[in-house]
Homo-oligomer: A and B are copies of this chain.
Amino acid sequence: MSVLVLGTVAQDTVKTPFGRRAHILGGSAVHFSMSCRFFTDVSLVAVVGEDFPQKYIRFLRGKGVDLTSLAQAAGKTFAWEGEYRGDLNSALTLHTELGVLATFRPQVALRQRKIKHVFLANVDPDIQMGLLKQMSPPAFVGLDSMNYWIHQKRRALLRALKQVHIYVANDQEARDLTGEKNLIKAAKALRSFGPRMVLIKKGEHGVFFYSDAFKAALPAYPVEKVVDPTGAGDTFAGGFMGYLAGAKKIHETSVKKALAFGTVVASFNVEDFGVARTARLTMQEVRARLLGFKRYSSF
């Protein structure tokens, strides 16, 4: 089994109470892949500019990420600069430079078009749909978005939601898109927009999953020293989608296990800047923490 992810590859500059890192490897597709790789093969669809360091390409390849559909275009790599203060629950964006992302039209290599599990990380909903059209109808499609598209391209986003199996949102996005304050009502409203499953990420408060057949919730794994939360949501999604791609069936048992694995890998991601922690993470560590998480969250 295999997962294809569309998203961003970025150079992030991040400041947190634990320090500052400039031009480190980041982006939704990167964080997703660094987590997904523990469970299944992962193919990344994104674009970088001429300035993108070759060492990052080597690094991702070394981690087993298939970069066949990673395009390089004239211009600068997408760059994000942000700062976290206080409880590190929300980022203050200091600077965004779209660079080559502004004109990006993803092209999936022919041999990757039959991949059955697809994750559309946060980019323009029309671009997300453009990718989906290139694929042989996949078995399972997940989509993430963000407030910018909810407000600027609401209709395109709603059209896209009709084409996917699971919508992954954070709590604020779920509330903004539906106008519902109660998260359970918001999830129900999102379900009515099309996707059979809705997954709401609540940061330090864990995740909530909604479908007609069952609902589920897990707390976050308790991390005392959150160094850099950037990419935690994409890391979560990578573990979640990766585990499901490897599971025989998508049903209550596998979905809940996928939520747990996503939670655990995300909890490692926040322990260091960028992908520093997930880069040195082992499956043995993931499994050990999963056991601890089960004890922590069960009664």
- Residues 225-249 of A contacting B (Cβ, < 8 Å): 226
Interface assignment of A182: CB less than 8 Å from any CB of chain B: yes
Set B202, B259, B296: member contacting A205, Cβ < 8 A: B202
Most buried by B among A184, A256, A297: A297
Report the separation of the CA atoms of residues A215 and B226 in the bound assembly, to the nearest whole angstrom: 17
Within the complex, the shortest CB–CB distance from A71 to chain B, in Å, comes to 38
Within the complex, the shortest CB–CB distance from A16 to chain B, in Å, comes to 12
Q: Place the interface of chain A in its size category.
A: 35 or more
Copy tally for this chain in the complex stands at: 2
Most buried by B among A185, A219, A224: A219
| Known A205-B202, A205-B206; contact A223-B298, beta-carbon cutoff 8 A | no
Q: Is the CB of B299 within 8 A of A184?
A: no
Chain B residues with CB under 8 Å of A109's CB are none
Report the separation of the CA atoms of residues A162 and B223 in the bound assembly, to the nearest whole angstrom: 27
Chain B residues with CB under 8 Å of A204's CB are 183
Report the separation of the CA atoms of residues A168 and B222 in the bound assembly, to the nearest whole angstrom: 18
Interface assignment of A286: CB less than 8 Å from any CB of chain B: no
| Known A205-B206, A218-B219, A219-B208; contact A182-B226, beta-carbon cutoff 8 A | yes
Within the complex, the shortest CB–CB distance from A148 to chain B, in Å, comes to 23
Report the separation of the CA atoms of residues A188 and B223 in the bound assembly, to the nearest whole angstrom: 12
Q: Is the CB of A296 within 8 A of B215?
A: yes
Chain B residues with CB under 8 Å of A297's CB are 216-218, 297-299
Report the separation of the CA atoms of residues A229 and B205 in the bound assembly, to the nearest whole angstrom: 19
Interface assignment of A260: CB less than 8 Å from any CB of chain B: yes
Interface assignment of A294: CB less than 8 Å from any CB of chain B: yes
Interface assignment of A87: CB less than 8 Å from any CB of chain B: yes
Known pairs A215-B222, A216-B299 / 7 extra A-B pairs, C-beta < 8 Å: A86-B181, A184-B224, A185-B224, A217-B219, A217-B220, A256-B298, A297-B299
